[in-house]
Structure 1
């Protein structure tokens, strides 16, 4: 048994498996010692040792709140979250609350993209904001739901397969690379795959793939922009048509006009940043 803080310890369960146990005052008293189940409020298994040091400095109420939000997220999201998810979220929330109390606000440049492309994670983020208001008496702007959503997205367990990936004629990662090569060949450039704009574009493509696999098209009421956007960015539109043809040949599905609209925007953005 090893103390993390006054309310958390690393210990062994009855089968000899290591875990983190949380409960009021568990860290007090001589070590090692036996603790009863009545003293334990929560247990966590398979926590990376790197995150244990983070836990030492996090408030107990934030840790408990984060664990409850992650419990909800595990039921709501279609993928597995890392065992460390409650700690990374708690660390994020503790910093967010500290900023709010000091009246420091941070812009969320990906707010619209996250709301459109990650609706389940964004919904959990909005729910968390309401609970924070009630439990911590701290009002946070709605954009903070984006930060929580991104935290959940990043907490996806390593190796978790993409939806329907195994049944696809080519994997989503292979499709992303082929599409990026189409962009490079069409505009005669090299896309910087380490750039922020590429990460944004790649994220959009991954969720586009997910919608195509599940046959759930995006719906934001912007279809009327499609014709004007094609006129404004004809080269990006021509590139998007090549991508649509690739998707049709590989996966035998059509790219809806509204999906093509957002694709044109992302192609244009990435090309502008590459110097065109």
Structure 2
């Protein structure tokens, strides 16, 4: 063990000199570094986890991480493809955000789960299962369509984000420009510098990638959530201004219009970035 992440997760080096994240009850308790003589204490090994996601081990509740580890284990047995090695952390962050939104009575419109199941039956089944388990284990009631968000997370995790193969071809070459242009808009409007190697940036860039995917396939979501978007925008007018500028950017440069649901997602993600920056 070479670095503790929390009580149950630690960075280790195997016999071949490769680093991995080890998961096991209490393996982070002993003084680091130390040699683990009993390998059976490691329940799971995670190789090739991007360094920018490691901060989540300290940010996310261990109960959520533990739940997600078990969920991903089940998914690997159910799905017939390999999952992105970062999925435990990105899905745990998604689930934690879902739980926090529910506690704050913030409802974000999701695709109807039965529609997702038509195209992705395996993932839809996992989404429904996950939703029931979240409600039971965290004693919280969720909108049933939250299952679709989890299902789509598995769909997106089929690919390595770094290759961006899940972005429609017409957007693939535009991705870097769109990402940098929109982040620059946020920085200029908010008067901050966003750390491009941070998880906050990775979370926003992943959301933008999925937004581009929806634009490229013509499957942009739309719903009647104008009241919620306006309400949150009134609470954070500078961030709402960022979202409107990004909407104008897409319209003027790429000929695309963002619906209010897409704007609401952007507002929530930008708010998280700015909150972490102390604004």
Is the TM value for this pair above 0.5?
yes
Alignment of 1:45 with 2:47, yes or no, is yes
* CA-CA distance at 1:88 after TM superposition: 0.6
Alignment partner, residue 92 of structure 2: 90
Change (3 A) 1:30 1:272: closer
Q: TM-score, normalised by structure 1?
A: 0.56
Question: Unmatched 5+ residue regions in structure 1?
Answer: 163-171, 175-193, 206-270
| Contact in 1 for aligned 2:112/2:145 (Cα 8 Å) | no
Alignment size in residue pairs: 184
Alignment partner, residue 214 of structure 2: 200
Cα shift readout 1:186-237 (whole Å, capped 9, x = no counterpart): xxxxxxxx999873364479xxxxxxxxxxxxxxxxxxxxxxxxxxxxxxxx
- Partners in 1 of 2:126 and 2:39 — Cα distance? 31
* CA-CA distance at 1:112 after TM superposition: 6.3
Alignment partner, residue 180 of structure 1: none
- Partners in 1 of 2:108 and 2:24 — Cα distance? 34
Change (3 A) 1:198 1:151: closer
Please list, as runs of the form range in 1=range in 2, the aligned pairs for 1:1-276 lying within 5 A after superposition: 1-35=2-36, 36-108=38-110, 113-158=115-160, 199-200=213-214, 202-203=216-217
Report the secondary structure of 1:9's partner residue.
strand
> RMSD of the TM alignment (CA)?
3.5
* CA-CA distance at 1:21 after TM superposition: 1.1
| Contact in 2 for aligned 1:51/1:87 (Cα 8 Å) | yes
- Partners in 1 of 2:51 and 2:154 — Cα distance? 20
Which one is further off, 119-128 or 152-161? Answer: 152-161
Change (3 A) 1:272 1:86: closer
- Partners in 2 of 1:118 and 1:70 — Cα distance? 17
Structure of higher CA gyration radius: 1
Change (3 A) 1:273 1:50: closer
* CA-CA distance at 1:97 after TM superposition: 1.2
Change (3 A) 1:110 1:201: farther
* CA-CA distance at 1:145 after TM superposition: 0.5
Change (3 A) 1:197 1:34: closer
Which one is further off, 124-133 or 73-82? Answer: 73-82
* CA-CA distance at 1:110 after TM superposition: 6.8
| Contact in 1 for aligned 2:7/2:27 (Cα 8 Å) | yes
Which one is further off, 19-28 or 84-93? Answer: 19-28
Change (3 A) 1:199 1:84: closer
Question: Unmatched 5+ residue regions in structure 2?
Answer: 171-207, 220-254, 259-279
